[in-house]
Chain A
Amino acid sequence: MSMNERAADTLVIGGGLVGAAVAYGLLRAGESVTVLDEGDVALRASRGNFGLVWVQSKGDKMHEYARWTRGSADLWPEFAGLLAQDGGIDPDYSKPGGIHFMLSEEDLEKKRAQLHRLHNSLEGQEYGAEIIDREQLDAMLPGLGPDVVGASWSPHDGHASPLRLMRGLHSAIAAKGGRYVADAKAEKVERDGSGYVVRTAKGAFRGDKVVLAAGHGNKWLAPSVGLDVPLRPEKGQIIVTERVRPLIPMPTHVMRQTAEGTIMVGDSHEDTGYSDASTSSVVSDIAKHAVRCFPALGQLRVVRTWGAVRVLSLDGFPIYQESATHPGAFSINCHSGVTLAGAHALALAPMIARGRLDASLDAFHSRRFEHATAH
């Protein structure tokens, strides 16, 4: 196989939200980067993203994740600005705060306890989420259904357009001189002196470092660089309505109004293997829940429903790691490609550029699964 001319400092395998954010960050750090993307047959978990930049209730069982997520949300305003500046495309980010509806007193109490735990986990950094009652909620979000008893609210939550973020990242990568190769599914990663060669349908590519950001593809690629990446697929379903006047002033965990005016409704968790077809019963349950929370939505026409396969590790938390046997080979997996885009571009990528992950990311190594079983 012939070698594709230029060698890069870093090869990024995967052009989804995760790979593109890291590639952009590496370019910002002054590296030369080649992104190797699979064709459109890829599962494209990025397109199934709901678009929340969400902090509240994340990381209850892993405090490092709570901190990492909050850190990403804090980086998002800067990140969105840089992206608009470098790529010319605004990802429509806003941070009006976010709401998680509670439909029973019992749930409300559980949430209160969870927020207390998370608050304590952040070591002094103010967590900022609080429980609000129905009366406060009505003042913020009129028109809720009778079943909503209260909510948790966090000022750090926001939302962005996943599609514009994706486009913005690709545009910024091009503007920064990054190289993007489509239809180049990585078939093999091999050692090449001190660097790596990635063999693809479009030829072989060489880089000093390699970052596996291929979503589910990492499972098959990782062993060649001495890493183990246990993942499971999870299907998420999303419904999008027609465009309407501003109805929902802030994102909630089950629905958000986009900058275009459509309303996205989502939040389902099914373990269906690697199929991304829409399933009517689940879509109906999502619709039911949304209308229960916000009855006015019942009148809106559905424009599109779709399913996408999320990428989950066994415990649901991200995996960030460098291979012990193959220095310079990194693997990244997470399911919150939008929320964590800020951290991936502005915190993780600089570490990869330096050639070492900070100790603060140790907890995300896949060695944490060595004694665990899948659930």
Chain B
Amino acid sequence: MSDHVDLIIIGAGPAGMSAAIAASRQGLSIVVLDEQARPGGQIWRNVEQRRDGALSTVLGRDYAAGAELVDRFRACPADYRAEASVWHIDEGQGTGGGKVFYLKDHQARVLEGRCILLATGAQERPPAFPGWTLPGVMGIGAAQVTLKSGGQIPDGPVWIAGCGPLAYLYAMQLRRAGGTIAGFLDTTPPGRLLPNFFAFLQAMLFQPAPMLKGVAWQLALRCTVPWVPHVAALTADGGDRLKTLTYTTTGGKPVTVEAAHLLVHEGIVPGTHPTLMLGCEQAWSDAQDCFAPKLDEWGETSLPGIFVAGDAGGIAGAQAARLRGELAAVAIMRRLKPSAVAERDAVKRLRSRLSRIIAGRAFLDRYFRPREAACLPPDDTVICRCEGVTAAQIRALTTNGLGDPNMVKAFTRAGMGPCQGRQCGYGVARLTAEITGTHAATVGLYRARPPLKPITLGELAVLDKQRTEA
């Protein structure tokens, strides 16, 4: 028997799990592939293991609440395959769905689906300031992964630089876990509240609970840790590892302090590699300052039968991801089983809950929009860490009318390393736009190529097209 299913869901976070639960209710055959050992995604990483432990107190109630969805996901009939990393997707030549190639237990496997749902989440907006590649500097997302998986926190006082909900949340979690914060360098530019006051009120109205929580975090942090507002520029120094950092506030003079750990965060952006590789049309989101795949109201991409749900389709958070997963499930069910009818009222309810969350989101997008310098760093900043390409090397390419990220890649090797341009994609797009006097939206990102996830030549070699799975 060849391995054909109705629906392949990639990612077992809030969107993937919700879609699996909803679609399996309709009797579709579903396989859920996820690279982690347990369901939950990034937001609820390891939540099953942490259910009653002290750590869930550290991580907070929203984290612990994920266990309920994980339980329902475990109980649903979808075939969940953990530690399965998807390295390639072949779309079905316009006929809908496609083939998903994944690696599990060092075995390359293939699975064919009539529909594919990408619930692959977001990534941190890559940092770009001089010295960010030094050991001792880390993204808050990565720091949170170590906290969730092993309960680990950095050893010694931590500087935090950045802005956005995740930065404040992690600072709170770090303190609860017994960590020390040397200082919080808030990079939110001054004067953001007043012009966005209407959006603020709207957010308070539609999303009172998370908004109040966010305000409370900020107040608590401002009162208890050294707080530096309006940080406009940052440099990390120290030779072989971080020893000092220098920050400059808007209109201020540079201040240098000793630092052993620096955690940075400038918000998150959709992970676009799978949809870019597939050739799904992308759209620039001015509000979120990033690309996201073009989706219809159900989450279907420009390719038939290929859907996106959750933050991979635009940042809106875990609650929205659950709703978008369910909406995608409805559309997929309609497509594959036209005889079954979804409750119109249920769809209406999903949409209305989703629109309230999106309405509340606008404030966060505007208030925490990354400052320009976070996107257009000075010359001595490493843009591509894998290949060691600096902003200066890219800016030097002004001659001869070169102005395309793929050309920059071909000429500088930026984006050719193991991370495949996930770290430098936006940096190169921004710099290319600067060189050519256009906008990142028109420049676009690198073309994405397989493998999406690491695979060895040997593993690739044993991929058997005719292989059948049990």
Please indicate the chain B residues that have their CB under 8 angstroms from the CB of A287 in the complex: 457-458, 460-461, 463
Contacts of A302 in B (CB 8 A): 451, 454-457, 460
- Between-chain CB contacts (< 8 Å), 15 pairs: A39-B404, A40-B407, A166-B411, A170-B400, A280-B90, A280-B99, A280-B450, A287-B463, A288-B462, A290-B461, A298-B461, A299-B456, A302-B457, A302-B460, A303-B420
Interchain CB contact under 8 A, B416 and A304: yes
Is A187 positioned at the interface, with any CB of B under 8 Å from its CB?
no
A181 touches B88 (CB 8 A): no
Measured between alpha carbons, how far is A299 from B458 in the docked complex, in Å?
A: 6
* Contact bitstring A327-341, B, C-beta under 8 A = 1, else 0: 000000000000000
Given contacts A174-B400, A182-B400, A280-B99, contact A306 B457 (CB under 8 A): no
Expressed in whole angstroms, the Cα–Cα distance for A307 and B171 within the complex equals 45
Residues of A167-216 at the interface with B, using a CB-CB cut-off of 8 Å, are 167, 170-171, 173-174, 180-183
Question: Which residues in chain A, 240-268, are within 8 Å of chain B measured between CB atoms?
Answer: 240-242, 260, 265
Q: Take A278-B88, A281-B465, A287-B461 as given contacts and tell me if A300 and B449 are in contact as well, using a CB distance cutoff of 8 Å.
A: no
- Indicate if the CB atoms of A278 and B418 lie closer than 8 Å: no
Q: Which of B411, B417, B454, B458 contacts A163 (CB 8 A)?
A: B411
Query: Knowing A241-B457, A278-B88 touch, does A284 contact B463 (C-beta < 8 A)?
Result: yes
B409 to chain A: closest residue by CB: A163
Answer whether residue B399 sits at the interface, using C-beta atoms and an 8 A cutoff.
Answer: yes
Contact of B279 among A241, A277, A299 (CB under 8 A): A277
Per a CB cutoff under 8 Å, which of A40, A167, A239, A298 touches B404?
A40
Query: Taking the complex as formed, is B301 at the interface, i.e. its CB lies under 8 A from any CB of chain A?
Result: no
B340 at the binding interface (Cβ < 8 Å): no
Closest to B110 in A: A280
Measured between beta carbons, the chain A residues less than 8 angstroms from B404 are 39-40
Contact B99 A298 (CB under 8 A): no
Q: Please, which residue of chain A has its CB at the minimum distance from the CB of B444?
A: A40
Between A166, A174, A283, the greatest number of chain B beta carbons within 10 A of the residue's beta carbon is seen for A283
Instruction: Knowing A302-B456, A302-B457, say if A280 contacts B101 (CB, 8 Å).
Output: yes
Complex interface residues of chain A between 121 and 179 (CB less than 8 A to chain B): 163, 166-167, 170-171, 173-174
Q: Is there a chain A Cβ closer than 8 Å to B42's Cβ?
A: no
Contacts of A297 in B (CB 8 A): 457-458
- B215 in the interface, Cβ–Cβ < 8 Å? no
**Interface size grouping (class) on chain B:** 35 or more
CB of A36 to closest CB in B, whole Å: 11
Q: Is there contact, CB below 8 Å, between A290 and B457?
A: yes
B interface residues (Cβ-Cβ under 8 A, vs A): 88, 90, 99, 101, 108, 110, 279, 399-404, 406-407, 410-411, 413, 416-418, 420, 449-451, 454-458, 460-463, 465
A-B CB pair tally, cutoff 8 Å:
102
Option from B410, B416, B418 in Cβ contact (under 8 Å) with A301:
B418
**A-B contact sample (17 more), CB < 8 A, given A47-B410, A171-B399:** A166-B410, A167-B410, A170-B400, A180-B401, A181-B401, A239-B460, A260-B413, A265-B457, A278-B88, A280-B463, A284-B461, A288-B462, A297-B457, A302-B456, A303-B416, A303-B417, A306-B449
**What residues of B have a CB within 8 angstroms of the CB of A183 in the complex?**
401
Task: Tell me, yes or no, whether A305 is within 8 Å of chain B by CB.
Answer: yes
Bound-complex Cα distance A240 to B455 (A) = 12
Residues on A with beta carbons closer than 8 Å to the beta carbon of B411: 163, 166-167
Look across to chain B and name the residue whose beta carbon is closest to the beta carbon of A166.
B410
A160 to B: closest C-beta gap in Å: 14
Contact A284 B465 (CB under 8 A): yes
Contacts of A303 in B (CB 8 A): 416-418, 420
A50 to chain B, nearest CB (A): 15
Chain A residues whose C-beta falls within 8 Å of the C-beta of B418 in the assembled complex = 242, 301, 303
Q: Whole-angstrom distance from the CB of B420 to the nearest CB of chain A?
A: 7
| Nearest CB of chain A from residue B115's CB, rounded to whole Å | 19
Most buried by B among A40, A182, A280, A281: A280
Q: Which residues of B contact A180 (CB under 8 A)?
A: 400-401
Q: Could you tell me the distance between the alpha carbons of A24 and B202 in the complex, rounded to whole angstroms?
A: 62
Which bracket fits the contact residues of A?
35 or more
A91: min CB distance to chain B, Å? 13
The listed residue with most B CB atoms (<10 A of its CB), out of A171, A241, A299, A304, is A304
Q: Which residues does chain A contribute within 8 Å of B454, judged by CB atoms?
A: 301-302
Which A residues are in CB contact (< 8 Å) with B449? 278, 304-306
Nearest CB of A to B130, in Å:
25
B458 to chain A, nearest CB (A): 3
* Chain A stretch 302-355: residues in CB contact (< 8 A) with chain B: 302-306
> Does chain B have a CB within 8 A of A279?
yes
Distance of A242 Cα from B456 Cα, bound (Å): 9
Taking a contact as CB atoms under 8 Å apart, the answer to whether B406 and A40 are in contact is yes
In the assembled complex, A75 has its CB within 8 A of some CB on chain B: no
A84 close to chain B: CB less than 8 A: no
Q: Closest B-chain residue to A181, C-beta based? A: B401
Identify the closest chain A residue to B99 (Cβ). Answer: A280
What's the least CB distance linking B456 to chain A, in Å? 6
| CB interface residues, A 266-300, toward B, < 8 Å | 277-281, 283-284, 287-288, 290-292, 297-300
Contact, CB under 8 Å: A182 / B402 = yes
Residues from chain B with Cβ under 8 Å of A260 in the complex: 413
Q: What's the nearest-Cβ distance from chain A to residue B302, in Å?
A: 15
CB neighbours (8 Å) of B450 from chain A are 278, 280, 283, 304-305
In the complex the two chains form, what is the Cα distance from A304 to B87 in whole Å?
11
When A and B form their complex, which 9 residue pairs have the shortest distance between CB atoms, in order from nearest? A298-B458, A182-B401, A287-B460, A287-B461, A40-B404, A284-B463, A288-B461, A291-B461, A180-B400
Chain B residues near A288 (CB-CB < 8 A): 461-462
User: For residue B397, which residue of chain A has the nearest CB?
Assistant: A167
A306 to B406: give the CA distance in the assembly, Å.
Answer: 13
A239 touches B457 (CB 8 A): yes
Given A280-B99, A287-B461, A305-B451, verify A300-B456 contact (CB < 8 Å): yes
Contact A163 B410, beta carbon cutoff 8 Å: yes
- In the complex, chain B residues whose CB is within 8 Å of the CB of A305: 449-451
A279 to B402, CA, bound (A): 29
Across-interface contacts of B416 in A (CB, < 8 A) = 240, 303-304
What CA separation (Å) do A280 and B413 show in the bound complex?
24
Q: Are A301 and B420 in contact (CB under 8 A)?
A: no
Q: Which B-chain residue is minimally distant from A89 (CB atoms)?
A: B411
Contacts of A277 in B (CB 8 A): 279
Nearest CB of B to A156, in Å: 28
Determine the distance from Cα of A291 to Cα of B457 in the docked complex, in whole angstroms. 7
**Cα distance, A287 to B400, chains bound together (Å):** 37
How far, in whole Å, are A182 and B397 apart by their CA atoms in the complex? 14
- In the assembled complex, the Cα of A305 lies from the Cα of B449 at a distance in Å of 6
Q: Is the CB of B456 within 8 A of A301?
A: yes
A298 to B455: give the CA distance in the assembly, Å: 10
Contacts of A284 in B (CB 8 A): 108, 460-461, 463, 465
Interface residues of A in 92-126 (CB under 8 A from B): none
Closest to A278 in B: B450
In the assembled complex, how far is the CB of residue B103 from the closest CB belonging to chain A, in whole angstroms? Answer: 11
Contacts of B400 in A (CB 8 A): 170-171, 173-174, 180, 182
- By beta carbon, the residue of chain B nearest A162 is B410
Q: How far is the CA of A181 from the CA of B400 in the complex (A)?
A: 7
What separation, in Å, do the CA atoms of A264 and B366 have in the docked complex? 45
Q: In angstroms, how far is the closest chain A Cβ from the Cβ of B470?
A: 21
Chain A residues lying within 8 Å of B463, measured Cβ to Cβ, are 280-281, 284, 287
B274 CB, min distance to chain A CBs, angstroms: 14
Interface string of A19-43 (1 = CB under 8 A from B): 0000000000000000000011000
